[in-house]
Amino acid sequence: MVDEARARKMADRIKEIVAKKLDRGIKDPRLGFVTITDVRMTGDLQHASIFYTVYGTEGERADSAAALKSATGMLRSEVGRNITARVTPSLEFILDALPETAASIERLLQEARERDNETQTLAANATYAGDEDPYVKPRTDEDDDEEDDATR
Task: Determine the structural domain holding residue 22 and report its residue range.
Answer: 4-98
Nearest to 92 by CA among 46, 137, 140: 46
The answer to the question of residue 30 being in a domain is yes
User: Binning pLDDT at 50, 70 and 90, where does residue 148 land?
Assistant: low
DSSP 8-class letter at 88:
P
Asked if 9 and 85 touch (Cβ cutoff 8 Å), the reply is: no
- The total domain count for the chain is 1
- Residue 138 pLDDT: 79
77 contacts: CB under 8 Å, gap ≥ 6: 88
Nearest to 73 by CA among 61, 85, 91: 91
Secondary structure class of 56 (helix, strand, coil): coil
The answer to the question of residue 72 being in a domain is yes
Mean pLDDT for 34-48 is 89
Give pTM, 2 decimals.
Answer: 0.66
Asked if 44 and 4 touch (Cβ cutoff 8 Å), the reply is: no
DSSP 8-class letter at 44:
T
- Residue 3 pLDDT: 79
Which ranges constitute the DSSP H helices of 1-97? Answer: 4-24, 58-82
The answer to the question of residue 55 being in a domain is yes
The answer to the question of residue 22 being in a domain is yes
The answer to the question of residue 113 being in a domain is no
Asked if 126 and 83 touch (Cβ cutoff 8 Å), the reply is: no
The answer to the question of residue 107 being in a domain is no
The answer to the question of residue 39 being in a domain is yes
pLDDT exceeds cutoff 90 at 49: yes
Q: What CATH number does residue 68 fall under?
A: 3.30.300.20
Across the beta sheet with 33-41, the strand order is: 33-41, 47-55, 90-95
The answer to the question of residue 117 being in a domain is no
